[in-house]
């Protein structure tokens, strides 16, 4: 009697079902991980921009006139998922924003826009908690 080699149909179906279940759980988690990673990158850029704003203040004794170009910062950050902006800058105060764009804006409703003031106050425009977003 000759021995049969290979998989039977039932074994293949069971294997495909197990792989499908693993994929069904993995994709949403990975998507959430990407949202958080991009948000953390945007928060990091806001902190770096705040340092650049302080250096600008030391040189000019005002925040007025500071912009992304003079501070050598790009407007689009986090792999094209956030727009960096100096919302306001006057003699002794500034407000920095990182606004999500595209899919990041659609999916990240908990945090949405990240903001950072000259006083170090962090903010969000979403419905989540600041501690979870920063």
Contact indicator for 100, 122 with CB cutoff of 8 Å: no
- Alpha carbon distance 112, 123 (integer Å): 10
d(CA 130, CA 114): 9
Closest among 100, 93, 86 to 120, alpha carbons compared: 93
3-state class (DSSP) for residue 114: strand
Give the contacts of 52 (CB within 8 A, at least 6 positions apart): 71, 72, 73
Q: Which tens digits make up the pLDDT trace of 24-67?
A: 999 999 999 999 999 999 999 999 999 999 999 999 999 999 99
**Which residue from 78, 91, 83 is spatially nearest to 41, judged by alpha carbons?**
78
Q: Where are the domains of the chain?
A: 12-133
What are the pLDDT digits (tens) for 82-108? 999 999 999 999 999 999 999 999 999
pTM beyond 0.85: no
């Amino acid at each position: 009697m000759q021995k049969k080699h290979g998989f039977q149909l039932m074994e293949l179906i069971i294997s495909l079902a197990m792989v499908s279940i693993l994929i069904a759980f993995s994709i949403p988690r990975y998507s959430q991980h990407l949202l958080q990673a991009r948000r953390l990158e945007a928060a990091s850029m806001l902190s770096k921009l705040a340092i650049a704003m302080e250096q600008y203040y030391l040189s000019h004794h005002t925040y007025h006139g500071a912009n992304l170009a003079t501070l050598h910062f790009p407007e689009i950050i986090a792999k094209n998922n956030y727009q960096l902006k100096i919302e306001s800058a006057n003699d002794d105060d500034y407000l920095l924003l990182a606004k999500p764009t595209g899919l990041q804006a659609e999916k990240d409703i908990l945090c949405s826009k990240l903001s950072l003031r000259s006083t170090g106050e962090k903010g969000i425009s979403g419905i989540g908690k600041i501690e979870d977003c920063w």
